[in-house]
Structure 1
Amino acid sequence: MFGLKKTAETREHTGSYYAASANWQTAYPRLENDIEADVVVVGGGFTGVNTAVELVEKGYDVVLLEANRISWGASGRNGGQVIGGIGHDPERFEKQIGAAGVKAIYRMGIAARDIIRERVEKYGIDCDLTWGYCDVALKPRHLKQFAEWRDFEKEIGNPHEYRLLDRDELKEYVNSDAYLGGLMNTANGHVHPLNLCIGEARAAERGGARIFEQSRVQEIVQGQRVRVRTDEGSVLAKKVVLAGNAYMGGLIPKLATRVLPSNSSVVATAPLPESMAQQLMPGNVAVCDPRTALDYFRLSADRRMLFGGLSNYTGLEPKDLEGTIRRKMEKVFPELTGIPIDYGWSGQMGIGLNRMPQLGRLADNIAYIQAYSGHGVAPTHMMAKITADMIDGKPDDFDIFSRIPHWPFPGGKYLRRPALAVGMAYFKVKDVL
């Protein structure tokens, strides 16, 4: 497609602001031997790392295998927005999960953010966790939707206040003329995601987990005990959790057909003068608009504007990533015209056809978790918890998600991306109109 290119990948972190400002560089060994464990977790992002944390806290012997570096994929590249809720419209699946299942999903969506809060406090993780979030309206119908959303959060028992803001009230938090108003809450927030994930990996390691990087899984041999083979070693385990999401590749063809890696991109400006940062973002909140290909932005702890978007189903990034996002950013904040951009990067998020996380079992002793559809920082933590609970003999919440049906993307390997790209283009046009 014109104006797009493939994202360059290496086995080290991408050239992001997060990688440049990480508290420490992980250097876990490569798996080079044949070892054994109670549970082997495949994937070192939020899902896999937090599954390991949950399991070691329960006393399990855990091995975590990561093909590159801890938090190398979406977990270490995203916009750092901590948003509650899990998936979209679980009522669609009431026939499969019952009214109690729908209610449970809303309960878990509210509690997901609390897991992050508690984990950061328990393990003293330095990750700039900050509470405060604004959804912003571009059209009058967005304000109507926000009012309905506010009422719905109260209806499902969310204890946090969601406050509808008019144009002037919004400027107390986000000082831009681009928006008609917003919906403010302190239930959601923002975080340095790479520092959160590597801090959680250290917590897992302190609990006894053995972590191996640069150890891509090549084969999974099923049996009463499962053997997970890497290039140079293997793990023989009683249980396996597959948590590679958009970066699992073709390891398990059945899972690959049900998740579509989709691109999103972020830039980070040079640090802003304190007066400018306070002028533009007086509330220091995370921000998102309601469009299909949305803008999202926030300030970093050192006062950089982190501005992201350009979500698309091609899996490609703009050839001029920084210039493309700069134009979007300056529409929101003309004051940033000419401010240098120090970092620009892209990554893949796992999209599911029905926009619900995919949890299930390939066998009695092999579980999988994938497809957060761009909404994973908090839900990953809850999915990790309920998967660990399932392994520990408490499967009720896991089984709710496992009963939700998930379908392969239509069009097969070669046509599914063009078909979905056309679909996204349709919704982009609807957003404009």
Structure 2
Amino acid sequence: MSETPDANSAYPPSYYAASRHIIRQPVALDGSVEADICIVGAGYSGLSAAISLAEHGFKVVMVEAAEVGWGASGRNGGQIVNGLNASLDTIQRRYGQQTANFVGSLLQEGAEIIYDRVERYGIDCDLKHGNIYAAYTPKHMEELKAKQALWRSHGMDDHELLDSNQIRQHIGSDVYEGGMIDHSGGHMHPLNLALGEAAAFEELGGKIFERSPVTKVDQDASGATVSTENGQVRAKTALICGNAYLGNVVPELTARVMPVSTQMMATEPLGEERAKALLPTGMCVEDVRYILDYFRLSADHRLIFGGGVVYGGTDPADVEAKLRPNMDKVFPQLKEVKVDYAWSGNFALSFSRVPQLGRLGKNVYFAHGYSGHGITGSHLFGRILSEAVRGDMTRFDTFANLPWIPFPGGRMFRAQYSTLGSWWYALKDRLGL
């Protein structure tokens, strides 16, 4: 099974953990602490909210079961991809044009928050601009053309279509029919971003307690109490940002999302010349299939390649064996290249593929369920959480009022039902339907 964070959790053996710039000295919670806000989870959602609140003068304490960025925030593909998992046209069909217009107005905000924080706080995370959606079939290209037109209708004009010849200027592979660049997207070292954001938060006066698994969250008329084995934080408000690794700490949230694992690996250093032959313009790439591959270059000229999902959050026995055929299909010139790191991690999937914001009672808020678009989504929703705490409920309420849909099969059989669905979509991918 995938790891569950506990007081002794170290980072998984990923390339990111091996190449992080900041080595923290974790301090566990011991005794009682008071704060304006207590945030559960030191990943992107919690860090985004924490920085926003600290910038506005709030006394904020974070409590993390493992270490900063231990979960999805420190293991992901590092790709700054705009938008939610659910497309704008899907949102329009489900929730109406007004909601679609609202969502369309903020689709690039998560990326903008990242760019601003990196510049403002001098975060060293190898940030680069530009991401490419790669198409395998003419049908995929029609989908990208429709996406470009739809985003333009919401005022976003950063997308550049690529034909089969143009995409080869960006990707040294013959497998793609074409693609589309989002010039407002990008990529970075995700764990270094999280660690840099944690340092920025602490510079603002915030406090982070790591290796302090939360055992329960209580509230009364005057505030919330977040308890760990050896201490507690008493605050006016608690924000629950545990996402796929929250477990059953807040039982009301357990059934709302499902942990889903995705896998990644990093090759040995390829050297600058060989790396540039793979991705000459240095942009990151994801294809547009339902079960997609995604890849990019690291600062030290490795190819970082990811893909695949396992519903329920279990890890495959051999990550490299699962991913290697996909990488070799895209880049057959890498068949003899050694893989130095291979790892897995969970993201939180909502059945609707729309992130969930909500409130439990008066004093506890939550955000989760980014469904594979967590880098930008978590930064955006962390900001929206901070707005709600400061009294501006406008954007929070718009999302909180969207209905959430339970997974078919309930908690016991949701993974099996979702796996069946993924098989169907994977078959459509293979058949080009």
Answer yes or no: is the 8 Å Cα contact 1:312–1:424 preserved in 2.
Answer: no
Answer yes or no: is the 8 Å Cα contact 1:270–1:340 preserved in 2.
Answer: yes
Q: CA 1:23–1:157 in 2, change beyond 3 Å: closer, same or farther?
A: same
Which residue of structure 2 aligns with residue 191 of structure 1?
A: 188
Answer yes or no: is the 8 Å Cα contact 2:4–2:245 preserved in 1.
Answer: no
Which residue of structure 2 aligns with residue 240 of structure 1?
A: 238
- 1:374-389 maps to which residues of 2 (within 5 A)? 374-389=372-387
Which residue of structure 1 aligns with residue 351 of structure 2?
A: 353
Please state if 1:214 is matched with 2:250. Answer: no
Which residue of structure 1 aligns with residue 114 of structure 2?
A: 116
Aligned length: 427
State the shift of 1:86 in Å: 2.8
Q: CA 1:64–1:385 in 2, change beyond 3 Å: closer, same or farther?
A: same
Which residue of structure 2 aligns with residue 3 of structure 1?
A: none
Output the amino acid matched with 2:149: D
Which residue of structure 2 aligns with residue 413 of structure 1?
A: 411
Q: CA 1:15–1:394 in 2, change beyond 3 Å: closer, same or farther?
A: same
Which residue of structure 1 aligns with residue 361 of structure 2?
A: 363
Q: CA 1:326–1:91 in 2, change beyond 3 Å: closer, same or farther?
A: closer
What SS does the aligned partner of 2:106 have?
Answer: helix
Distance in 2 between the 1:319 and 1:229 partners?
A: 35
Answer yes or no: is the 8 Å Cα contact 1:135–1:183 preserved in 2.
Answer: yes
Q: Which moved more, 1:95-104 or 1:288-297?
A: 95-104
Q: CA 1:269–1:112 in 2, change beyond 3 Å: closer, same or farther?
A: same
Answer yes or no: is the 8 Å Cα contact 1:127–1:193 preserved in 2.
Answer: yes
What SS does the aligned partner of 1:47 have?
Answer: helix
Q: Which moved more, 1:104-113 or 1:314-323?
A: 314-323
State the shift of 1:429 in Å: 0.8
Which residue of structure 1 aligns with residue 68 of structure 2?
A: 70
Q: CA 1:53–1:39 in 2, change beyond 3 Å: closer, same or farther?
A: same
Which residue of structure 1 aligns with residue 83 of structure 2?
A: 85
- Output the TM-score relative to the length of structure 1: 0.96
What SS does the aligned partner of 1:167 have?
Answer: coil
What SS does the aligned partner of 1:258 have?
Answer: coil
What SS does the aligned partner of 2:30 have?
Answer: coil
Among residues 4, 7, 10, which one is paired with 2:2 in the alignment?
7
Please state if 1:230 is matched with 2:228. Answer: yes
Q: CA 1:98–1:144 in 2, change beyond 3 Å: closer, same or farther?
A: closer
What SS does the aligned partner of 1:109 have?
Answer: coil
What SS does the aligned partner of 1:318 have?
Answer: coil
Answer yes or no: is the 8 Å Cα contact 2:258–2:312 preserved in 1.
Answer: no
Which residue of structure 1 aligns with residue 392 of structure 2?
A: 394
Distance in 1 between the 2:3 and 2:359 partners?
A: 33
Q: CA 1:201–1:410 in 2, change beyond 3 Å: closer, same or farther?
A: same
State the shift of 1:98 in Å: 5.9
What SS does the aligned partner of 2:199 have?
Answer: helix
Q: CA 1:111–1:413 in 2, change beyond 3 Å: closer, same or farther?
A: closer
Output the amino acid matched with 1:7: S
State the shift of 1:112 in Å: 1.7
Please state if 1:106 is matched with 2:104. Answer: yes
* 1:390-427 Cα distance to aligned partner (Å, 9 max, x none): 11111101111101111222222321111111111111
Distance in 2 between the 1:142 and 1:193 partners?
A: 28
Among residues 177, 188, 197, which one is paired with 1:200 in the alignment?
197
* 1:294-341 Cα distance to aligned partner (Å, 9 max, x none): 100000011100000011214222222112211110110011111110
Which residue of structure 2 aligns with residue 263 of structure 1?
A: 261
State the shift of 1:56 in Å: 0.3
Answer yes or no: is the 8 Å Cα contact 1:359–1:401 preserved in 2.
Answer: yes
* 1:202-251 Cα distance to aligned partner (Å, 9 max, x none): 11111111110001110111102111100100011100100000001011
Distance in 2 between the 1:9 and 1:36 partners?
A: 27
Which residue of structure 2 aligns with residue 403 of structure 1?
A: 401
Answer yes or no: is the 8 Å Cα contact 2:85–2:372 preserved in 1.
Answer: no
Please state if 1:26 is matched with 2:21. Answer: no
Answer yes or no: is the 8 Å Cα contact 1:86–1:108 preserved in 2.
Answer: no
Cα RMSD of the aligned pairs, angstroms, is: 1.5
* 1:334-372 Cα distance to aligned partner (Å, 9 max, x none): 111111100000000000000000001011211000000
Which residue of structure 2 aligns with residue 156 of structure 1?
A: 154
Distance in 2 between the 1:115 and 1:230 partners?
A: 31
Among residues 298, 303, 306, which one is paired with 1:305 in the alignment?
303
Runs of at least 5 residues in structure 2 that lack an aligned partner in the other structure = none
Distance in 2 between the 1:362 and 1:337 partners?
A: 51
Which residue of structure 2 aligns with residue 131 of structure 1?
A: 129
